[in-house]
Amino acid sequence: MENIIIEVKELNTYFDESHILKDIYLDIPRNAVTSLIGPSGCGKSTFLRTLNRMNDVIPTFKKEGTILLDGKEIYDPDVDVVDLRKRVGMVFQKPNPFPKSIFENVAYGLRVHGNNDKKDLERRVEASLKEAALWDEVKDKLDDSAMGLSGGQQQRLCIARTIAVEPEVILMDEPCSALDPISTTKIEDLIHKLKNEFTIIIVTHNMQQATRVSKYTAFFLHGEIVEKGLTDKIFIEPEDKRTEDYITGRFG
């Protein structure tokens, strides 16, 4: 069996009375890309944000069940949420660089975690930008505002910012939905490169993208996982009629 980094068992989540995720079981293999697909409102983004506890800020959020990261429940009272988010990074749907310089955007996570060594910051910022395939485009304007970059560059900057803190898992919430096709290709190439080093979980509405970037796929519908497994298997011979209907575009 594969090496599993995140193990989700019997997960149920609620906002107030409304039951969002229902009895989710899902294993996330280490150093591979897992796609979460499904129609809007099916709970895949909620699921993603449960994995780094971003839903904690919503007072009505309630979670039942187990989410193990390397065998340790991430909702245990002794888990430091700051430490968890260092290990489980996140890239958002809309590029959200801070209104700061390009350098400070990438250095942000490191500074927040107490690194103020100028030399070390410079080294890590450069390494992260290179890894995010952005270095050549920005190396001469590191002091310029990140807000002046194009949307695709901003999203790669957000990826650089995330990998700078060396997480184990990167959550991506439709990272290409606001980007043009060329920028999308660059991000997908980047995902291929990053999967050797990181575990990536990506929410996508683009079926082709799921087949291009991911080894595993889980299909969400109405808060449940209908089908999960190898991406090739799901897209070539889905077991469930609903999966087939969705991936062939008959609904959703």
Please check whether residue 158 is in contact with residue 91, taking contact to mean a CB–CB distance below 8 angstroms: yes
CB burial of residue 244 (10 Å; 0-12, 13-18, 19+) = middle
130-138 contact pairs (CB < 8 A, 24+): 131/160, 131/163, 131/193, 131/194, 132/156, 132/157, 132/159, 132/160, 132/163, 132/190, 133/186, 133/189, 133/190, 133/193, 134/160, 138/102
Nearer CB in complex with another protein: 28/90? 90
Q: How far is CA 23 from CA 35, 54, 136, 241, in A?
A: 19, 20, 46, 20
Of 175, 227, 217, the C-alpha closest to 28 is: 217
Q: How far is the CB of 37 from another protein (least distance, A)?
A: 22
C-alpha span between 134 and 60 (Å, rounded): 39
Q: How far is the CB of 110 from another protein (least distance, A)?
A: 9
Task: Show the site string, 83-122: x = touches another protein by CB under 8 A, - = not.
Answer: xxxx--xx-x-x-xxxxx-------xx-xxx---------
Q: How far is the CB of 79 from another protein (least distance, A)?
A: 13
Q: Given candidates 69, 146, 200, 226, which one binds another protein under the rule CB under 8 A? A: 146
Task: Give me 129's structure tokens.
Answer: 């930008």
148 near another protein, rule: CB under 8 A: yes
Nearer CB in complex with another protein: 52/243? 52
Stretch that binds another protein, among 36-44, 155-163, 174-182, 211-219 (CB under 8 A): 155-163
Nearer CB in complex with another protein: 81/236? 81
C-alpha span between 49 and 93 (Å, rounded): 12
C-alpha span between 39 and 220 (Å, rounded): 8
Task: Show the site string, 8-47: x = touches another protein by CB under 8 A, - = not.
Answer: ----------------------------------------
Q: How far is the CB of 194 from another protein (least distance, A)?
A: 17
70 near another protein, rule: CB under 8 A: no
Nearer CB in complex with another protein: 61/219? 61
Q: Which residues bind another protein (CB under 8 A)?
A: 52, 54, 57, 82-86, 89-90, 92, 94, 96-100, 108-109, 111-113, 144-149, 158, 161-162, 165
